Amino acid sequence: MSLSWFLFLIAAIILLQGWIYKHWGLTGLTYTRSFSTPAVFEGEEAEMVERIQNKKLLPIPWLRVESKMNPNLKFHRQSDLAIKYEEFHKSVFSLMPYTAITRHHRILCKKRGCYRLSSAAMTCGDAFGVQELYRDFQVDAQLLVYPRLLPLSEIPFPSHSWMGEVAVRRWILEDPFLVSGVRDYQYGDPLNRINWKASARTETFKVYNRDHTADPHIMVLLNIDLSEDMWDAVTDPDRMERGISYSATIAEDAIENGIPVGFGSNACEMDERKQPIRIGPQPGREQLNHILEVLAKLILVRSCTFYTFLEEELDRESIPADILLITPFVSKRMENQIARLRDQGNSVDLIFLEGAAEADRTGESQEGLSMKAKGNVG
């Protein structure tokens, strides 16, 4: 065979295999990506699992899968993995006929949030670089990163024994569903407690006398307004992230102690824009998971002013609860609302979210600030 025929044959083979890869290179390929766990806490590691399968006789000399990743998910370095600017995730594969490859990637979750992987790009080619094929495809993977849990000692409660006080108050909370007779009406009693038949019989106003329950309820309310005249944007996100961690820590501790807990905020969820958040108090691990999921999905966008949020809370006239109000400030209008919440039978305690400069103060000065604010609204 002459050299010219040999070169012609080689060229024909290269062109033929290029034509084959052009038509069938990306067919029969499946790719999935998932996380080994649905949720982790901030600062913990998760595992991302990707699996690619070649369901045809044609081998794939090289294949590259690329996708954009949030920089708060930090991958450990691997030889078969490339990370550009800590945002673009790139995996390279080589697949023989009818084979599958599964890879596990360790990820450090640096910040709370809801991370969704929705699309990726697949590129493959033949052995000689004649053809290079590209295709976008959808992936469906989600990872929840819960807020970091803190030691209770790091939360500036108005008194160090606040959780102990809740445990004591569990025996003295009025239960609106337990009635033990009637008593004379007193100033401040809600009108819906009046016993009209007893009042008509005695010709004086009588109200239902509520019995007591062994079940306290904690309601954690987070205010993301930095001031009363704030615009929609939160300009100090670190301060709010600390408040979110406070909320998660209190909820976790309450559930572990068998105390029903709820959560509310004038922020909003990523899928529920412009809707305030409110989860009524409930006990149990399922309730804790619900609160942690909402906190993971919480975005620092104001759904309404906190004044409006508290007005809606006052209108509910819910079962009296131990309310923990986590807030950067207390205005005169809020002081009035807190007093009204107390008139409804709630206990209200304040946890102040201090700025960076204020955070360096000693615990003693923090205690004084909280007690002063509590006195103003008492």
Of residues 15 and 120, more confidence is placed in 120
Instruction: Summarize pLDDT for 43-98 with one digit per residue, the tens.
Output: 999 999 999 999 999 898 888 898 888 889 988 765 555 554 447 788 888 889 99
Q: Please check whether the two domains, 28-146 and 152-171+214-377, share a CATH topology.
A: no
What's the confidence (pLDDT) of residue 197?
Answer: 73
Please state, as a whole number, how many other Cβ atoms lie within 10 Å of the Cβ of residue 197: 10
Mean pLDDT taken over the chain: 81
- The per-residue b/e assignment along 228-263, b for 16 or more CB within 10 angstroms, e otherwise, is eebeeebeeeebbbbbbbbbbbbbbbbbeeebbbbb
CATH of domain 152-171+214-377: 3.40.50
Crossing angle (nearest 10°) for helices 363-377 and 332-343:
70
The answer to whether 345 touches 174, Cβ cutoff 8 Å, is yes
Q: Report DSSP state, residue 154.
A: G
Nearest to 111 by CA among 303, 279, 240: 240
- Cβ-contact 325, 293 below 8 angstroms: no
| Residues 6+ away with beta carbon under 8 Å from 63 | 29, 52, 92, 93, 94, 95, 122, 123, 124
Cα-based angle 267, 242, 348 (whole degrees, multiple of 5): 70
**In this predicted model, which residue has the larger pLDDT, 157 or 214?**
157
123 pLDDT above the threshold of 90: no
Q: Closest by alpha carbon to 137, among 61, 30, 28?
A: 30
Q: Give mean pLDDT, residues 319-342.
A: 93
Instruction: Decide: 352 and 366 in contact? Cβ < 8 Å.
Output: yes
More confident residue, 105 or 189: 105
Band of pLDDT at residue 367, cut at 50, 70 and 90 = very low
Confidence of residue 175 (pLDDT cuts 50, 70, 90): very low
pLDDT tier, 333 (very low <50, low <70, confident <90, very high otherwise): very high
What was the pLDDT predicted at 159? 64
Cα separation, 277 vs 267, in Å, equals: 7
Predicted confidence band of residue 364 (pLDDT cuts 50, 70, 90):
very low
- What is the model's pLDDT at position 163? 57
**Taking the domain 28-146, which CATH number applies?**
2.60.40.1530
Helix (H) or strand (E) holding 128: none
Query: Which residue, 296, 287, 315, is CA-closest to 217?
Result: 287
pLDDT band at 5 (very low <50, low <70, confident <90, very high): confident
Using 50, 70 and 90 to split pLDDT, how confident is the model at 210?
low
Q: Which helix (H) or strand (E) holds 11?
A: helix 3-24
Cα angle, residue 172 at apex, residues 167 and 173 outer, rounded to 5°: 90
Share of the chain above pLDDT 90, in %: 42
Binning pLDDT at 50, 70 and 90, where does residue 208 land? Answer: low
Q: Which of 47, 51, 50 is nearest to 106 (CA)?
A: 47
The pLDDT of residue 18 is above 60: yes
pTM value? 0.75
**Domain residue spans of the chain:** 28-146, 152-171+214-377, 178-213
Q: Do 319 and 176 contact (CB within 8 A), yes or no?
A: yes
- Which amino acid type is present at position 281? P
**Can you give 262-302 as a three-state secondary structure string?**
EEEECCEECCECCCCEEEEEECCHHHHHHHHHHHHHEECEC
Sheet holding 45-54, edge to edge: 29-35, 45-54, 99-109, 73-75
**In the structure encoding, which two tokens stand for residue 231, read together?**
């615009």
Beta strand ranges found along 223-362 (DSSP E): 261-265, 268-269, 277-282, 298-299, 322-327, 347-352
Taking alpha carbons only, the member of 297, 332, 334 closest to residue 314 is: 334
